Amino acid sequence: MKHIILLFAVIRQRFSWVPAFAGTTFIVAMTVACAPREILLPAIGLKPYTLSDFPTGYTPPKSHETGQPMPGFGGSGPLDHTPLIFIHGNTVSARYWLPARAHFKTRGFADAGLWSLGYGWDNVRYFDSADLSVPSVERIVNSVMQHLSKETGQPVRQVDIIGHSLGVTLVRQWMKQTNSWHKVRSFIAACGANDGVWTADMYSRGQNRGVAFELAPGSPWLTQLNAGGETPGATRYMTLYDGTGWGDVLFPKPQQDSSALEGAYNLPYNREHGTWYDHLELPRKPETMDAMIAWLKQAPEPSRTAELPAIVRKGDSLSVDQPEAALHCATGEKNPDARNAVVQSLQLEPGIVTSCYAHNSATGLSSALARYKRGDKPLAPGKLTVSSAQMAKSYQNPIKVTLTASEPEAFIVYTTSGTPPNSGSPLYTAPVYVAGPLRLTAMAIAPDGRRSAPLILDYDISLELIEAERSLQRQYDPGTAADYDGKRKKGR
């Protein structure tokens, strides 16, 4: 060792300029390269690398957030199982799932059945949020189903989904807001903040506050997400998480079971297996992936040819149009799930909203959720409308939106995903918490089935508004008009 050091010293003495020159060159080169790739590469005429490993004929949908085609991967070839879509977490992209894609292939999953697309900004400086990204998930699922239906010549009406971290609450919000439970055969929720995460804070500021508003423990957003049951619909649910409070730093004690869902197959993997996988490792380790695969394979493959079951209402009675199918119903705020009693027909109770979906265990197919109400009171004459007490505009901080129907006997459903509501959309039971920019669409449904015209309200919880309202001049001269044009800046 001594001789090596001595030799090194001699060489250095002879060529003393080399380390300084080489080191400086390295630092300068790296420093230049550290300029955000979105600036540097375009500046020299290069396009930043993007993961885009899709089969011929598939055009990835545009991200709702960025307006750019979503990056990601998907396969081609024969498809003999329900397609599996991976949904990544906050600030990362589909590349997160590349190791999972490789592993699932080794376990017999078809290339054509493994998909992941990147929603959000794919940029650590901009947090994604569930509400902002729900439209993107809607596009991802629909585009994959349409593409595979076309490629295979048979309709693909169900997918499996594995979500990670923000991807968990995002997928749950998407299923709820778009009434899409029937499209998801199995959902694996890995490391999701279903009961909040300690890093999120209701008092967060800055442009990344949206996700913090959503995922703060005890937040109104989570309360809404979990209202009506944590595992609705015919969807099978599995959760995979740490459980020790030490492996995944996002879920320390006493929030070590925040990821669990009531009614799901909950697998606190580290706790049960004595492992120490962290937040990013948990869904990507061979043994955890094998556990997920085993659970996925327990589900029968749905029929590719059978018709979807449908609920039939005759008067105050509900039934199903297929003899093998049955009803799963719940009343009030509760959404039905697989644990609800299975009935062939149901008599609606007076004054109570009843929510049902039909499921055919032979075909594995389900109907969308629908809500009904039995009308025993006379309805007010006139046009059925729904209104809001909160104007559609920008607000500085999250608000709660109160909805009222012109007919007291009517119930109200709404969406925050920008999609038109249907009777299976979230049931309005309490003011809607709006924590970010979204389109709230509400509709009143009378017991007799009449529906109001949708009430469309565009809200924004805007930093631009804060900046405009709290500009230096306005704080010194409160009478000055706010310089606010209603637009959001990029990345917020």
Q: Segment 97-116, which members bind another protein (CB under 8 A)?
A: none
Rg (CA), the chain: 26
Q: Does 227 bind another protein (CB under 8 A)?
A: no
| Residue ranges in 236-255 that form contacts with another protein under rule CB under 8 A | 244, 246-247, 249, 252
Q: Which of residues 356-415 bind another protein (CB under 8 A)?
A: 397
Residue 122: CB minimum distance to another protein, A: 8
Helix (H) or strand (E) holding 400: strand 399-401
98-106 and 286-296 helices, crossing angle to 10°: 60
Between residues 403 and 463, which has the closer beta carbon with respect to another protein?
463
Query: What DSSP state is assigned to residue 128?
Result: -
Q: Decide whether 195 or 407 has the Cβ nearer to another protein.
A: 195
Distance CA 317, CA 349 (A): 10
Listed residue (331, 325, 322) closest to 343, CA to CA: 325
Q: Say which residue the tokens 């999701």 belong to.
A: 192
The answer to whether residue 472 forms part of the interface with another protein (CB under 8 A) is yes
List the structure tokens of 477. Answer: 């001269």
Contact pick of 147, 209, 359, 371 for another protein (by CB under 8 A): 209
State which residue, 69 or 155, has the beta carbon closest to another protein: 69
List 115, 237, 277, 459, residue binding another protein (CB under 8 A): 277
Helix, strand, or coil (residue 111) = helix
Q: Does 271 bind another protein (CB under 8 A)?
A: no
Q: Are 441 and 420 in contact, with CB atoms under 8 Å apart? A: yes
- Distance, in Å, from the CA atom of 324 to the CA atom of 319, rounded to the nearest integer, reads 12
**How many Å from the N-terminal Cα to the C-terminal Cα in the chain?**
56
User: Which residue from 80, 350, 475, 486 is in contact with another protein, where contact means CB under 8 A?
Assistant: 475
For residues 145 and 277, give the distance between their C-alpha atoms in angstroms, rounded to a whole number: 33
Residue 374's alpha-carbon distances to 311, 398, 410, 447, 448, in angstroms, are 15, 35, 10, 5, 8
Between 121 and 187, CB nearer to another protein: 121
Q: Which stretch binds another protein (CB under 8 A): 101-109, 218-226, 412-420, 470-478?
A: 470-478
Position among 294, 324, 480, 486 found at the interface with another protein (CB under 8 A): 480
- Structure-derived torsion over alpha carbons of residues 278, 280, 281, 284, reported in degrees to the nearest 10: 150
Q: Are 119 and 196 in contact (CB under 8 A)?
A: no
What is the SS3 string spanning 30-61?
A: HHHHCCCHHHHHHHCCCCCCCCEECCCCCCCC
85: exposed, middle or buried (Cβ count in 10 Å: 0-12, 13-18, 19+) = buried
Kindly state the number of chain residues that form the binding site for another protein, as judged by CB under 8 A.
87
Residues numbered 293-322 forming contacts with another protein, rule: CB under 8 A: none
Q: How far is the CB of 107 from another protein (least distance, A)?
A: 21
Return the sign of the alpha-carbon dihedral for residues 15, 21, 24, 25.
Answer: negative
Q: CB 95 → another protein: shortest distance, Å?
A: 6
> Using the rule CB under 8 A, which residue among 87, 132, 140, 211 binds another protein?
211
211/405 with CB nearer another protein: 211
Which of 164, 183, 328, 492 is close enough to bind another protein by CB under 8 A?
A: 492
Instruction: Indicate the residue among 49 and 377 with the shorter CB distance to another protein.
Output: 49
- Return the range that interacts with another protein (CB under 8 A); candidates 122-130, 133-141, 218-226, 310-318: 122-130
Interacting residues with another protein between 10 and 49 (CB under 8 A): 12, 16, 19-20, 22-24, 26-28, 30-31, 33-34, 36-39, 48-49
Q: How far is the CB of 165 from another protein (least distance, A)?
A: 12
Question: Cα–Cα distances in Å, from 264 out to 178, 222, 232, 277, 338?
Answer: 21, 17, 10, 21, 10
Choose which of 112, 117, 166, 212 interacts with another protein (CB under 8 A): 212
Of the candidate residues 151, 278, 316, 333, the single one contacting another protein (CB under 8 A): 278
* Interface positions, 139-198, toward another protein (CB under 8 A): 198
Closest approach of another protein to the CB of residue 111, in Å: 19
Q: Which of residues 449-468 bind another protein (CB under 8 A)?
A: 463-464, 466-468
- Which residue lies nearer to another protein by CB, 333 or 469? 469
Give the amino acid at 312: V
Instruction: Name residues whose C-beta falls within 8 Å of residue 343's C-beta, 6 or more positions apart in sequence.
Output: 326, 327, 329
Binding mask 58-87 for another protein (x = CB under 8 A): ----x--xxxx--x----------------
d(CA 118, CA 71): 5
Q: 46: how many CB neighbours lie within 10 A of its CB? A: 10
Backbone angles phi, psi at 116, to 5 degrees: -155, 135
Nearer Cβ to another protein (76/123): 123
